[in-house]
Amino acid sequence: MDPSCHACKFWVNSGTCPKGAACQYEHPQRHNLISARQRWVSERQQERQKIAQKEGNPHVHDSASRHARASIFSKWLVERFGRELLRKGPVLDVAGGPRGEVAFELEQLGISSDSAPCGNAQAPADVQSMRLVNQPDEGTAGQRHEAADCQENHRLQRHIQAEFGPAFWADGSSHSQLVKQCSLVIGLHPDEATEAIVDCALAHAKPFAVVPCCVFPRLFPDRKLVEDNGSTRPVVRHDELVRYLTAKADGHNDYLKFQGRNLVVSSALSGN
Ligand SMILES: C[S@@+](CC[C@H](N)C(=O)[O-])C[C@H]1O[C@@H](n2cnc3c(N)ncnc32)[C@H](O)[C@@H]1O
């Protein structure tokens, strides 16, 4: 198909394009921009549905909005692991986002969690903030107020600033006790921390659940998939990352009922 028939993705999303006049795609002007944007979104949705169908995602047509993902993931965690296990210690929610939505949803379900919300998706991975729901002596007054407002039991939230990686859970680190005590390690779309969640869980024989989103093949060139004939190839696509993590942890796959990246890799392995 002639690419000039398509609108430029930068242009329809931001009204600008780094290539300017040299861009081979269309730059629709004001009166056509809204319809071009709607067409672009609808085409992307159809494309994603086709891929999801091909991959065997059973929730292509009956999934909830992506905004419900924290709630759906939290309920799934309770079903998958059971309240008894989840109450053995705090849930370590890595890269939980600025609002710590999974931590909040788990609290609503009566499960305490330690979450690692992030400033924003563009933030460098060296300094991140983490949230502990059940530790009253930490957090700002605003966070304490917010937590008290929304939780009947008035448990409080604490944020930790740290990159989640081997140094976080190494013996003797200031967070090693937290990792040892936690009941479960989780991450919903945790970007660069995705594999670290699996590594941390394996290192401590903890159950885990991670919903991968971005792959970052250039950042992680050493991830390899072994083919049936013994040859290897780098992990580049999302489905390859899921296969790679599943094989690494002898994990299990489930589709969650929300739009977007909804395939969870989990393991119930527990040294508890
Ligand atoms: C796409 S956001 C997802 C946030 C939230 N879980 C959600 O679903 O809305 C992923 C976040 O992970 C954080 N992140 C990436 N690598 C990390 C690391 N090594 N340690 C802690 N956080 C990390 C990033 O800052 C980013 O904001």
pLDDT per position as a tens digit, 218-264: 999 999 998 889 999 999 999 999 999 999 999 999 999 998 899 99
CA of residue 32 to ligand 1 center, whole Å: 36
Percent of the chain with pLDDT over 70: 79
Whether 75 and 30 map to the same domain: the answer is no
Write out pLDDT tens, residues 86-124. 988 888 888 887 778 888 888 889 887 665 433 223 333
Distances (CA, A) of 25 to 3, 5, 32, 45: 6, 7, 14, 20
CATH code where residue 112 lies: 3.40.50
Last residue of a domain, one of 55, 77, 94: 55
Whether 45 and 150 map to the same domain: the answer is no
Return the ligand 1 atom nearest residue 213 CA: 1
State the DSSP string of 87-138.
TSS-EEETT-TTTTHHHHHHHHTT--EEE---S-TTS-TTS-EEEETT-TT-
Q: Which residues line ligand 1 (CB under 6 A)?
A: 94-97, 116, 118, 120-121, 123, 125, 128, 163-165, 188-193, 196
Q: Is residue 272 part of a domain?
A: no
Q: Is residue 152 part of a domain?
A: yes
Whether 165 and 209 map to the same domain: the answer is yes
Neighbours of 221 (CB within 10 A): 11
Neighbours of 206 (CB within 10 A): 23
Q: Which domain holds residue 39?
A: 3-55
Neighbours of 222 (CB within 10 A): 6
Q: Which of 130-139, 185-194, 252-261 has the least mean pLDDT?
A: 130-139
Whether 150 and 231 map to the same domain: the answer is yes
For residue 18 the two structure tokens come to: 């780094």
Q: Is residue 35 part of a domain?
A: yes
Whether 104 and 145 map to the same domain: the answer is yes
Whether 79 and 99 map to the same domain: the answer is yes
Considering only CA atoms, which residue is closest to atom 13 of ligand 1?
Answer: 95
Q: Is residue 60 part of a domain?
A: no
Contact 207, 267 (CB under 8 A): yes
Q: Is residue 61 part of a domain?
A: no
CA distance 272 to 253: 22
For residue 128 the two structure tokens come to: 């991140």
pLDDT of residue 62: 76
CA of residue 207 to ligand 1 center, whole Å: 20
Whether 27 and 158 map to the same domain: the answer is no
Average pLDDT, the chain: 80
CA of residue 220 to ligand 1 center, whole Å: 16
Q: Is residue 94 part of a domain?
A: yes
Whether 7 and 119 map to the same domain: the answer is no
Whether 117 and 229 map to the same domain: the answer is yes
Contact 146, 133 (CB under 8 A): no
Grouping H, G, I as helix, E, B as strand and the rest as coil, residue 19 is coil
Reply yes or no on whether the pLDDT at 158 is more than 70.
no
Q: Which of 21-25, 117-121, 184-188, 208-212 has the least mean pLDDT?
A: 117-121
Contact 115, 100 (CB under 8 A): yes
Q: Is residue 36 part of a domain?
A: yes
Whether 22 and 85 map to the same domain: the answer is no
Please count the structural domains in the chain.
2
- Arithmetic mean of pLDDT, 194-201: 96
Whether 13 and 50 map to the same domain: the answer is yes
Whether 206 and 169 map to the same domain: the answer is yes
CA distance 174 to 161: 12
